[in-house]
Structure 1
């Protein structure tokens, strides 16, 4: 029933995205009128387009040229739309740009980010972080540089075309590596970000060398990202591919991604305490309560090819809660010749990754990894609930811990160099209902590729090589009774350990 519901939601989402940009919408004030589209070729409206001249002012004027009075603000419809075209062979050099409601930005040439911070705006943090997302070598940086292409509080926007958005990432990466002064003022910018937007479509475009996260929908709804090519070199610092963050109804499909970090990172804001972010939002503060009501929900990642990079991650920012995520039919860790490096580069790190820290609160529930094929990542599966929390402060009493429950790995294959599957939860907050069924590791480096810690309840079946059942059964050993209780749930055999008592949890922490 859950998969049927998700399929229905998927179909609805795709139809919604398509209907936003075609046809006649009956909710316009005059239902008899067809949608009016104003098309602007930027080359014919003052853009120089030689890649040397600063075209920022002209581009901003063009993107704001749709008369606000023409937009029916009383509805969610677009009776009038702006269609801005950067034609082929035109290179527009610019500082950051804003997109408003009912806008199609079609890039058939190149939109190139200015390699300078001199006139680059800086924005305050979004409330679900309370900090820059870019921590700058662990320092607390409050503000963040304006995303290169940005939409805030907008609806019915589309970024498309056969061209390229180029972030000039090397300029920012060098500053990051050298701890340069400009990055003490703000974190690096996202290439594309939507904030509090409805009905967003990003398709067909090529996105190259983002300074930081490449595509970052935040607090947005009905987001469709498809047939996009993303490129950044191996180990480009923190350069993720697509990061939906506190969003509802997201479809990510048919994309081709090679980047420096996570191909996909599904996030939900950040509060909590850790060794390098100990002054951000406290999950016990009342100011954070509203943000908890904005989880990430109903995300589908399917039919993508992931090359250089770290696979699909859920987390680590998960404080608002993440639920109902389906990751299926993806190909991960495909080797390629890097676009900047003549040497072959492949996937690295864990291909299927759930990461959080128990001090971040929130929950991660109903996450499905199914029918994915992994080639050359260095790890197959990793579940970890103490991510970057080795020196975390002591957790206060009554602190809302992170719940990890209902995580499914089914019919996934590791047929290249990916050699291990690790399920590493925490003595203070074990994981629950971990399902691992029909998964296959072809080239294990040892006889036992499985690793397990503090799995409270689980269901494992028909995994190759054998040994995961014993691994799960022993995951609580040394901290609680070795007795394993069999529980029959929904006609499936569950194995459930008795819960740890407080003294046992503290003893386990001391032992670690």
Structure 2
């Protein structure tokens, strides 16, 4: 970095140095790929774009510090599958590390750190002083062969990792940390992407640790790109107010073929949660979850058809989501307040819900109603709980 004018003192802006280094090194990408190594130091920078056949590598003592100056973050229009920005409708700030229409791009290191310095952004969000949606830390659009690995990400302004409209994505060995009261600091959000693998990672978050998405209401329906063929394994989450893995709520392009296994949640609101609503359309189907260990949870199982936030009033109230073939097995849940809150949609029941080989022990002060099931059809087998189960195939 110093060859391109970079100064790793934590104070000098390095955005131009990163852009110059990437532009120079990218000339050699056709000769087998290019790599920029970020050496020890604290490198203050705004948003910058990577290129194809490129590796960004952070030394273990390197820290990328995200600028808190809005001028360092280009403004982008909303994503086409969302129609509006999530914080503010006008649009969004670019992500810190960004790229679009790339092939073979890697962000890695030997556990170097990316610090989003998000406190200023969280304050602006709470005080309603934002004009655009907050930036994410790492985001790639319309890209193939993406790897994000061996990093520590802390204090993101909003979401941490957001592969969108991507294919063949590997995310592994990440440590993602944010205060548990920080707004919308989701860990990893695969969005309208296929063939994604997330593994061997640890997230402490103020929102969902993993949120699987595919567009919002009429915009996601029109864009029509699902998230599919997703594997999540050997993953640990702490998030007292949100889910270990959320499917939705923006799922209007569809979510299909998700396999999650060897998942641990500690002091987290819920396990694998399905969030949808009238107006979402599309589907969440063929979801297979096994070998989850849940400790000190509000909910062991939670799915809802009334997660009704909408981008605007243009959604179609006749666009009903299809939720089916959802399987949970080999689950151990300890110190649980509420075993299951399963709420489908009237005249649009969630079907094929299978819960098997489950052991649930309750907290000392549990909810009186432990299994609340409405517009749900399915079966349970070998469920050991101190409360009544839903009866298969009926409406409650």
The answer to whether the superposition gives a TM-score over 0.5 is yes
Other structure's SS at 1:298 match: strand
Aligned CA-pair RMSD: 2.1
Q: Deviations over 1:9-29 (max 9, x none)?
A: xxxxxxxxxxxxxxxxxxxxx
Q: Is the 8 A contact 1:49 1:92 kept in 2?
A: yes
Equivalent runs, 1:33-44 vs 2, <5 Å: 42-44=1-3
- TM-superposed CA distance for 1:474, in Å, is 5.0
Name 1:376's counterpart in structure 2: 296
Name 2:334's counterpart in structure 1: 415
User: Is 1:321 aligned with 2:254?
Assistant: yes
Instruction: Give the alignment partner of residue 117 of structure 2, picking from 155, 168, 191.
Output: 168
Instruction: Give the alignment partner of residue 388 of structure 2, picking from 463, 467, 481.
Output: 467
Instruction: Give the alignment partner of residue 61 of structure 1, picking from 13, 20, 26.
Output: 20
Counterpart CA distance in 1 for 2:307 and 2:270 is: 13
- TM-superposed CA distance for 1:373, in Å, is 0.5
Q: TM-score, normalising length from structure 2?
A: 0.92
Other structure's SS at 2:258 match: strand
Instruction: Give the alignment partner of residue 432 of structure 1, picking from 342, 351, 357.
Output: 351
Higher strand share: 2
The structure-2 alpha-carbon separation of the partners of 1:389 and 1:80, relative to structure 1 and needing over 3 Å to count, comes to: closer
Name 2:100's counterpart in structure 1: 152
Other structure's SS at 2:119 match: helix
Q: Is the 8 A contact 1:93 1:114 kept in 2?
A: yes
Instruction: Give the alignment partner of residue 116 of structure 1, picking from 69, 75, 86.
Output: 69
Other structure's SS at 1:439 match: strand
Counterpart CA distance in 2 for 1:56 and 1:105 is: 14
Counterpart CA distance in 1 for 2:73 and 2:26 is: 26
The structure-2 alpha-carbon separation of the partners of 1:67 and 1:177, relative to structure 1 and needing over 3 Å to count, comes to: closer
- TM-superposed CA distance for 1:447, in Å, is 6.5
Instruction: Give the alignment partner of residue 303 of structure 1, picking from 234, 253, 266.
Output: 234
Name 1:135's counterpart in structure 2: 87
Counterpart CA distance in 1 for 2:134 and 2:12 is: 23
The structure-2 alpha-carbon separation of the partners of 1:206 and 1:437, relative to structure 1 and needing over 3 Å to count, comes to: same
User: Is 1:237 aligned with 2:158?
Assistant: no
Counterpart CA distance in 2 for 1:317 and 1:91 is: 36
Counterpart CA distance in 1 for 2:309 and 2:157 is: 26
The more displaced of 230-239 and 433-442 is: 433-442
The structure-2 alpha-carbon separation of the partners of 1:427 and 1:259, relative to structure 1 and needing over 3 Å to count, comes to: same
- TM-superposed CA distance for 1:60, in Å, is 0.7
Unaligned runs of 5+ in 2: none
User: Is 1:93 aligned with 2:60?
Assistant: no
Name 2:161's counterpart in structure 1: 215
Structure number with bigger Rg:
1
Instruction: Give the alignment partner of residue 52 of structure 1, picking from 11, 19, 22.
Output: 11
- TM-superposed CA distance for 1:358, in Å, is 2.4
Displaced runs of 4 or more, over 4 A: 392-397
Name 1:502's counterpart in structure 2: none
Q: TM-score, normalising length from structure 1?
A: 0.72
Counterpart CA distance in 2 for 1:428 and 1:446 is: 28
